[in-house]
Amino acid sequence: MTLIYAHRGANREAAENTRSAFDKSLTYAIDGMETDVQLSLDEIALLWHDADLHKVGLPGKRIDDFNHVQLQTMNFAAHFSAAAPSASLMTLQEFLDAYRSKCRLLLEIKNRNWEPVFRHELKMRQTLAMAGHSTSSDLIISSFNLASLVYAHHCAPLFPLVYNLEPEQNLAHLEQVLLQQPFLHGYCLPIQSLTSEWVTLLRAHGKCIAVYTCNSEAQIKHALALGVDILISDVPQIALQLRGQ
């Protein structure tokens, strides 16, 4: 059965990657939640997706320009609604403590090209340490940065790791990575790349198949028809309804 994951929580009903969004997503019968991990200036693992802080009125500034205490003074729900309760960033540890026992989790490590490699590696080591080097697919780490996943595999050889593919990466790229990096637990494909040919290839290699971000009925039905393992959606309640049909 295809598992339905809420993308950054119920992000159309509350500010993404905040406790309110995660709690709201749990009012539906979701199977899991996806979130994003970045590091503050003082190397605290926090949940935030964007490359900058334009949503809090700081365009051109990034998470790693501020320490954790400074970030706690910012309202990360203001961009969603002026009436929304103020929300600070959750730490990764707070997120794991609050939700690990409630549903499956997918942690996407956001490694930026301006960061030195040692911060990429630190971010991965911190996440693995907090995850407890689990070998269960109930908690998966993913990244668009293949080198980071290779590093994670060296740190925790049995941990389930998923490679996120960009829309411009083609089937030839997938075939190459399948041959060169057999340790990968699975692949997360953009919905526009999802075809039966991709699914057949990944199934032949015994890989988990996730797909992002399925928001229209057509996209959700397409992913369900091809039998993906994980469907990531901004509208998990609709995906659940369609899966039930």
Cβ burial 1-26 (10 Å sphere, 16+ → b, else e):
ebbbbbbbbbbbebbbbbbbbbebbe
The enclosing domain of 43 has a CATH number of 3.20.20.190
Of 100, 109, 147, nearest in space to 128 by CA: 109
**Residue 135 pLDDT:** 74
CB 180 within 8 A of CB 155: no
CB 230 within 8 A of CB 106: yes
Residues with Cβ within 8 Å of 93's Cβ and at least 6 positions away in sequence, in order, are: 45, 130
Q: How many domains does the chain have?
A: 1
Q: Whole domain around residue 65: which residue ranges?
A: 3-244
CB 33 within 8 A of CB 99: yes
**Percent composition of the chain: helix, strand, coil (DSSP 3-state, to 5):** 35, 20, 45
- Distances in Å between the Cα of 43 and the Cα atoms of 66, 126, 174 are 10, 9, 33
Provide the token pair at 1: 């059965």
**Residue 85 pLDDT:** 86
**Residue 83 pLDDT:** 81
Tell me the average confidence (pLDDT) per consecutive run of 10 residues in the chain, 245 residues long: 98 96 98 98 98 95 97 94 88 98 97 95 98 86 98 96 97 98 98 98 98 98 98 98 97
**Residue 55 pLDDT:** 93
- Is 0.95 topped by the overall pTM? yes
- Distances in Å between the Cα of 40 and the Cα atoms of 59, 167, 181 are 16, 28, 30
